[in-house]
Amino acid sequence: MRRQFSFPVLRLLPLLLWVFMTLSGCGGDDGASVESGSTPGAGNQFLRIFVRPFAGQYTNTWSFDHDLPLGTFSESDSALGSRDVLTWRGSTRVMFWGDGRFHDGYDWALPEGTPLKAVADGEVFFAGLEEPFTCGSKGAVAALIVGIRHAVAESTIYESLYVHMSRVDVAVGESVSAGQLIGLSGNTGCSFGPHLHLTVRKVTQSGDKVVVDPFGWEGGGDDPWEIYNGGVRSYWLWKEGEAPQGEYVE
C-alpha cells in the first residue's frame, strides 16, 4: 500500500498501512507464487493493452478499492461506517484496522530483487525517489518509483506507477517497450515487506490523472468509483493470458 503519487491525499495512509501490517503479519510474506492469474467475466469492459509486470504469478495481497480508493470522504459520508474494500468482482473483504478503504492499486508479494517489466510501450516520466514523508515507526521514508506514460491513442493515455523498487534501470524521457526490464522489486519507502505496488491512472482530455482499476469492474450495477470520479471508467487492460492474480488471497 502507498500514498497516491503526485496526487493530493491524506498523509494518514502510510500509518494505516503500518498498523495493518503489524496486526495481520502480512509484512513477512515470502512471495509464494500462485497457480494462475485472474480471468474476466462477460460483464467486464475490455481494452487489452497491458502485459504482466513480472514473470510468473504471485500472491495478491491488496486490491484496488472501488468505494473510495483515495480516502477522500467526509464525516457525513453514508459509507463511512463500512470497513470493507470493494473489489472489481463486486465482493468485499473486511480490514483488520479502522476503515478499510484508502488503496489506489494492487500489491503482489514479490521477493526483493524480482525483475519488473513495463506493462506497455511508453515513455518514462518519473524514475527515482519520491518526496520523503513520515511512515509510522520507520520515520521519514521515500520509495523508489518508476512512472511510465502510455499513449494508446491520441485521446487515450494511461500511466503506470511501480512502487517500492530496489533498483531503477530506466531514466526520465526514455522510451520503453512492453515487457522491457525497468528495474527490480524491493521494500523501499512505506513498506513493511517486499512487494510491488502497481497504480494505473487514466489521463483525461483536461489533463487530470484519475486512478483506475486495470481489472475493470464486474460488480452488480454501476461502478461506484466511476460515479464518484466524474465518469472515468475502469477497463480490463490485460492482454489475453497476461493478467496477474487480481483477487486477494488469505
CATH number for the domain spanning 175: value is: 2.70.70.10
Q: How far apart (Å, rounded) are the C-alpha atoms in residues 32 and 54?
A: 14
Residue 94: per-residue pLDDT? 61
Q: Domain for residue 7, yes or no?
A: no
Query: Contact at 8 Å (CB) between 169 and 180?
Result: no
Q: Domain for residue 84, yes or no?
A: yes
Residue recorded with cell 492474480? 245
Q: Domain for residue 59, yes or no?
A: yes
Is the pLDDT at 237 greater than 80, yes or no? yes
- The predicted-structure confidence for 159-197, as pLDDT tens digits, reads as follows 999 999 999 999 999 999 999 999 999 999 999 899 999
Residue recorded with cell 468505494? 67
**More confident: 64 or 146:** 146
Average pLDDT value for the chain: 82
Q: What one-character-per-residue DSSP string does 63-122 give?
A: ---SS-TT----TT-TTTT--EEE-TTS-EEE-SSS------SEEE-PPTT-EEE-SSSE
- The predicted-structure confidence for 100-156, as pLDDT tens digits, reads as follows 446 789 999 999 999 999 999 999 999 999 999 998 888 999 999 999 999 998 889
Q: Torsion-angle region of residue 30: left (phi > 0), alpha (psi -120 to 50) or beta?
A: alpha
Of 116, 98, 109, 128, nearest to 1 by C-alpha is: 109
Of 87, 40, 95, nearest to 67 by C-alpha is: 87
Give the number of domains in the chain: 1
Residue 138: per-residue pLDDT? 87
Cell of 194: 517486499
Q: Domain for residue 245, yes or no?
A: no
Q: Domain for residue 116, yes or no?
A: yes
Q: What is the 3-state secondary structure (H, E, C) of 17-41?
A: HHHHHHHHCHHHCCCCCCCCCCCCC
Q: Domain for residue 2, yes or no?
A: no
Query: Contact at 8 Å (CB) between 71 and 113?
Result: no
Please give the distance of CA 147 from its chain centroid, rounded to a whole number. 12
Number of residues assigned to the chain:
250
Q: Domain for residue 3, yes or no?
A: no
| pTM for the model | 0.82
Domain limits at 92?
12-238
Q: Domain for residue 89, yes or no?
A: yes
- Which amino acid type is present at position 144? L
Of 29, 3, 79, nearest to 249 by C-alpha is: 29
**Averaged over 61-75, what is the pLDDT?**
67
